[in-house]
Structure 1
Amino acid sequence: MASAQKMSRAQLTAMVVGGMVGAGIFSLPRTFAGATGPLGAVIAWLIAGTGMYMLARVFQALAERKPELDAGVFMYAKEGFGDYPGFLSAFGYWIGSCIGNVSYWVLIKSTLGAFFPVFGDGNTVIAIVVASIGIWSFHFMILRGVQQAAAINKIVTIAKVIPIVVFIVILAFMFKGDMFRFNFYGGDLTDSVFAQVRSTMLVTVFVFLGIEGASVYSRYAQKREDVGFATVSGFFIVTTLMVLVTLLPYAVLERSQIAGMRQPSMAAALEAVVGPWGAVFVSVGLLISVLGAYLAWSLICAEVLFAAANNRDMPRVFATENPNKVPSAALWATNIVVQLIVITTYWSRDAFALMLNLTSAMSLIPLLLVAGYGYMVARRGDGYAPGESRNLDLFIAGLATVYTIFLLFAGGLKFIVLSAVLYAPGTALYVWARREQGVPVFARTSDWVIFALAAIGAVLGIWWIATGYIEI
């Protein structure tokens, strides 16, 4: 059974592409056009692309230097910084991914809402009921086997990339140099290029999430080197698509026109160029894309919780597998959490925006710990042959660490505090796991300090929500 569950290089690459190409890419034209022109967009993608490439290279290096560490995202944090930070990384990545899955259902229903008003903005009663049916349909499909779900993900990944490629080809053929030059500096925007770039950086955080997909699934890889290959090749594929989707609309439409389009703006942009069929074509692609991303992230969510339980960082109940070798208890826990959050969107003012921001905030701390651990491994020379140069790996991991710290602060204090509202009570799972083992809950003084900071942040976050300083 174990051999049947192994993933090929192509399937691992599809996990990366499938995880990254979700909702974000379909909203890029309007999101960027509302803030900047082609010049600012190119600078933003250069900064984000460089930072995320460094992070991808860290994942690649750790997969090769530390092959014994499976489900890399949280295991790297545990190995480098201790049990409690490792738990927080696993919990944050898991709960952030659950929240991200909720955003997919909200977007699916809001997209359908353009054709069927009963779905509204994706958080009406009917929308929640339909989303709930979808959640549990995926749940029982995944329970039938990870390999089957991964094979479906590969097919869906190909299917959802086709509308994006068609969009790129059509706009490339209709490229107008004069229009591109007119938009180049942002047209009528008065902000400096630096301010324009800064206002787009948070967008790139969400669209790059998923870059670690192959690392999370490393225990299923046929060969360890396939993990690094899938991570880097998936990164280049998706980055190329995102840059072209962002820049090409500037060559056929005025920036202000793109900025005023409804979301998904890729559909509106194609409609403006080729007529109504363009909007329908891209909307269908979006639905396939989001459902495919949901499948990929459902797999990743369950795998992280399962691996954490196997390493005794989560209660042992989550280490349960069914006869198909699927982490069934972790999958049940994941989808129960997703279901509960979907229900709460009924009372949210802007459910989609809140889910996107929270997903980014919860995911950045685990990624920061991975980058930091990559730097520690290179500095100590773990896994290196005697005399082997470590300078390049040190440079790459150092840049990745600086970039993730920058993103954490660029996200703003509000969402760091809001993430603490989830991190602090989540520690109850850590307490449960430690008592199962009969060991002290917090073994080090630094663990108490981290917990105290999370608790203070949680109290502050609840106060800000209650007083309306943070709107949800």
Structure 2
Amino acid sequence: MTDQAQVTPDTQNAAGGDNSGGAKLGLLALVAIVVGSMLGGGVYSLPQNTAASSGLGPVLIAWCIAGVGVFFIATVFRLLSDMRPDLQAGVYMYAQQGFGSFIGFNVAWGYWLMTCFGNVAFAVIVMDALNEFFPGTFTDGNNLTSIICGSVLIWGYNYLVLSGTKVAGFVNTVGTIAKLVPLAAFVLILGVMINYSQLLTNVWGNAPAITTVVGGHTEPMSIMAQVMAPLTVTLWAFIGVEGAVVLSGRARQRSDVSKATLIGFLLALVFYVLLSVLPFGAMTQAELSVVANPSTAGVLQHVVGAPWGSWLMNVGLIVSVLAGWLAWTMLCAEIPMAAGQNGAFPKAFARTNSNHAASVSLWVSSAVMQAAMALVYFSSNAWNTMYNISALMVVPAYIATALYMVKLCLTHEYDRYAHKGRGFALLSGILGALFCILIFYASNINYVVLVPILLTIGLPVFIWTRKESGDNKAIFEPKEIIYLAVLLIADALVVWMFMAGKISV
């Protein structure tokens, strides 16, 4: 999960910096941004999250599928960044340009909610990590004490960003070091100490069989089902792969953006595979599936046979997330503020205070985070709930961007912006979109059905935006009425499934 902040002029102002005269970023710095963007707090839970319902073989296949899919999504962002530098105000701009204001709004709304729920996921996992040092005080990261302390953090960061803090760069640097050192230690220690012959034990999860409950009956999971199970986790881990593209305007050489995106993506992929695979040489799949999150802590303690293994990973996670949280709070505020400035959100969201901080959007974002923080109290597995919702809410942004590339290629508008490479661009858009659809198919239906519901909640804000525009146009254009009808039909289907007991929300 990303710990990135989209550094635009407005974000820099919010942090008390200035983008206009800053030093340009070289290839190494851009690679660090891409890797740092993706290696967030969620990486500390990869061993359990990927092994929860899958053997080693299916986990490796899942990472291969995710690697290919995210590669093409990153490629689409990279190509569009080169072709349409005028559309870099936010990830929703591609959707708005290609499919109209309603789709653009829904992408912006969904991406914004993703950042809000992502921050709540941060709160849950930090509280869970603190439980290592205060046993029973922060049980599962969502008991009453956790909710209170998480809420204090939400509003504390709200205050910091409102104050136009100038420490964002320093804090984020500390956070990057704090998360990389323990993770590197985890990989090196496991690489030396695990039993490699155990990696080949029950590779496909069939001896003993990994089971699932279907219709009240326990059944063995097929290899395909095991491959599908961790795909949402893999997407969650890759959120932020567009980090170098977001900062392309600050690159010393524009060609470095493409290189940094590819190198950073490959480095993160290798790291993810090692974090997911090596634990199978220390514990069985059944043991890994029940390790408490952050699961790297439990795995390392098991390998070294001493509490310091757990302490190291928990301290690294706490410092990493607390530092990255500042950037993510800025991002939460930046998205609706930029959308307000560009007419995708109401103008009120564009307001800033005397410190140039996005005041209105920050207060609203913090309120949304507080509401979600209160709701996790009622969740039986708060961490899984938050990361699943966050991962799925980013999919509309990725699929709309991929489909915009497909549209450019099929209508030959692509040729206006580039003289070659249309075939590869079309392939990237198609495969990126198919990967997003696969994510929906592979994800837990109880989380997938929340996507249309959460998008529909934004309808009053969209109507407010359209009425405020003053262009005397209808709120919904003819094609947008079709989009609206599809969304409302999906909502009705969700309600029916819930009433029929087919899903539980």
- What TM-score results when the alignment is normalised by the length of structure 1? 0.90
Match 1:268 to one of 291, 298, 304: 298
- Structure 2 counterparts to residues 330-349 of structure 1, below 5 A: 330-349=361-380
Query: In the alignment, what sits opposite 2:63?
Result: 45
Kindly indicate whether residue 435 of structure 2 is the aligned counterpart of residue 417 of structure 1.
Answer: no
CA distance in 2: counterparts of 1:42 and 1:319, whole angstroms: 44
Kindly indicate whether residue 184 of structure 2 is the aligned counterpart of residue 165 of structure 1.
Answer: yes
Q: Describe the shift of the 1:393–1:69 C-alpha distance in structure 2 as closer, same or farther (beyond 3 A).
A: same
CA RMSD of aligned residues (A): 2.8
Match 2:204 to one of 185, 190, 214: 185
Secondary structure, counterpart of 2:389 in structure 1: helix
Query: In the alignment, what sits opposite 1:237?
Result: 267
Question: How far is the alpha carbon of 1:387 from its aligned partner?
Answer: 4.7
Q: Is the 8 A contact 2:175 2:321 kept in 1?
A: no
Structure 1 or 2: more helix by fraction? 1
Q: What stretches of structure 1 of length at least 5 have no aligned partner?
A: none
Question: How far is the alpha carbon of 1:306 from its aligned partner?
Answer: 1.7
Question: How far is the alpha carbon of 1:368 from its aligned partner?
Answer: 0.5
- Structure 2 counterparts to residues 377-416 of structure 1, below 5 A: 377-379=408-410, 380-382=412-414, 387-416=419-448
CA distance in 1: counterparts of 2:333 and 2:248, whole angstroms: 14
Kindly indicate whether residue 467 of structure 2 is the aligned counterpart of residue 450 of structure 1.
Answer: no
Q: Is the 8 A contact 1:11 1:150 kept in 2?
A: no
Question: How far is the alpha carbon of 1:311 from its aligned partner?
Answer: 1.1
Question: How far is the alpha carbon of 1:313 from its aligned partner?
Answer: 0.9
Match 2:193 to one of 174, 184, 195: 174
CA distance in 1: counterparts of 2:340 and 2:22, whole angstroms: 20
CA distance in 2: counterparts of 1:289 and 1:19, whole angstroms: 12
Q: Which stretch has the larger CA shift, 384-393 or 64-73?
A: 384-393
Kindly indicate whether residue 226 of structure 2 is the aligned counterpart of residue 196 of structure 1.
Answer: yes
Q: Describe the shift of the 1:376–1:332 C-alpha distance in structure 2 as closer, same or farther (beyond 3 A).
A: same
Q: Is the 8 A contact 2:87 2:93 kept in 1?
A: yes
Q: Is the 8 A contact 2:194 2:303 kept in 1?
A: no
Q: Describe the shift of the 1:331–1:359 C-alpha distance in structure 2 as closer, same or farther (beyond 3 A).
A: same
Kindly indicate whether residue 86 of structure 2 is the aligned counterpart of residue 68 of structure 1.
Answer: yes
Query: In the alignment, what sits opposite 1:56?
Result: 74
- Structure 2 counterparts to residues 42-441 of structure 1, below 5 A: 42-116=60-134, 117-145=136-164, 148-186=167-205, 187-189=207-209, 191-216=221-246, 227-274=257-304, 275-379=306-410, 380-382=412-414, 387-439=419-471, 440-441=473-474
Question: How far is the alpha carbon of 1:251 from its aligned partner?
Answer: 2.4
CA distance in 1: counterparts of 2:33 and 2:453, whole angstroms: 30
Secondary structure, counterpart of 1:121 in structure 2: helix
Kindly indicate whether residue 38 of structure 2 is the aligned counterpart of residue 20 of structure 1.
Answer: yes
CA distance in 2: counterparts of 1:223 and 1:295, whole angstroms: 29
CA distance in 1: counterparts of 2:23 and 2:498, whole angstroms: 45
Q: What stretches of structure 2 of length at least 5 have no aligned partner?
A: 1-17, 210-219
Q: What are the superposed Cα offsets for residues 406-429 of structure 1, whole Å, 9 maximum, x if unpaired?
A: 212222554343222221121111
Q: Describe the shift of the 1:431–1:19 C-alpha distance in structure 2 as closer, same or farther (beyond 3 A).
A: same
Q: Is the 8 A contact 1:63 1:224 kept in 2?
A: no
Q: What are the superposed Cα offsets for residues 305-340 of structure 1, whole Å, 9 maximum, x if unpaired?
A: 122111101011111234554333222221121122
Question: How far is the alpha carbon of 1:243 from its aligned partner?
Answer: 0.6
Q: Describe the shift of the 1:421–1:7 C-alpha distance in structure 2 as closer, same or farther (beyond 3 A).
A: farther
CA distance in 2: counterparts of 1:5 and 1:466, whole angstroms: 56
Secondary structure, counterpart of 2:140 in structure 1: coil
- Quick one: percent identity of the two aligned structures? 34
Q: Which stretch has the larger CA shift, 286-295 or 44-53?
A: 286-295
Kindly indicate whether residue 50 of structure 2 is the aligned counterpart of residue 32 of structure 1.
Answer: yes
- What TM-score results when the alignment is normalised by the length of structure 2? 0.85
Q: Which stretch has the larger CA shift, 380-389 or 292-301?
A: 380-389
Q: What are the superposed Cα offsets for residues 364-391 of structure 1, whole Å, 9 maximum, x if unpaired?
A: 1111001111222344253666752322
Secondary structure, counterpart of 2:458 in structure 1: helix
Q: Is the 8 A contact 2:333 2:361 kept in 1?
A: yes
CA distance in 1: counterparts of 2:461 and 2:31, whole angstroms: 32
Q: Describe the shift of the 1:80–1:129 C-alpha distance in structure 2 as closer, same or farther (beyond 3 A).
A: same
Q: Describe the shift of the 1:386–1:197 C-alpha distance in structure 2 as closer, same or farther (beyond 3 A).
A: closer
Q: Describe the shift of the 1:139–1:192 C-alpha distance in structure 2 as closer, same or farther (beyond 3 A).
A: same
CA distance in 2: counterparts of 1:7 and 1:469, whole angstroms: 54
CA distance in 1: counterparts of 2:399 and 2:418, whole angstroms: 28
Q: Describe the shift of the 1:196–1:46 C-alpha distance in structure 2 as closer, same or farther (beyond 3 A).
A: same
Q: How many residues align?
A: 472
CA distance in 2: counterparts of 1:333 and 1:174, whole angstroms: 48
Q: Describe the shift of the 1:465–1:12 C-alpha distance in structure 2 as closer, same or farther (beyond 3 A).
A: farther
Q: Is the 8 A contact 1:23 1:290 kept in 2?
A: yes
Question: How far is the alpha carbon of 1:297 from its aligned partner?
Answer: 2.6
Q: Is the 8 A contact 2:92 2:107 kept in 1?
A: yes
Q: Which stretch has the larger CA shift, 160-169 or 425-434?
A: 425-434
Secondary structure, counterpart of 1:118 in structure 2: coil
Q: Is the 8 A contact 2:467 2:475 kept in 1?
A: no
Q: What are the superposed Cα offsets for residues 228-252 of structure 1, whole Å, 9 maximum, x if unpaired?
A: 4554343223222111011112223
Q: Describe the shift of the 1:5–1:337 C-alpha distance in structure 2 as closer, same or farther (beyond 3 A).
A: farther
CA distance in 2: counterparts of 1:48 and 1:452, whole angstroms: 31
Q: Describe the shift of the 1:384–1:136 C-alpha distance in structure 2 as closer, same or farther (beyond 3 A).
A: same
Question: How far is the alpha carbon of 1:279 from its aligned partner?
Answer: 0.7
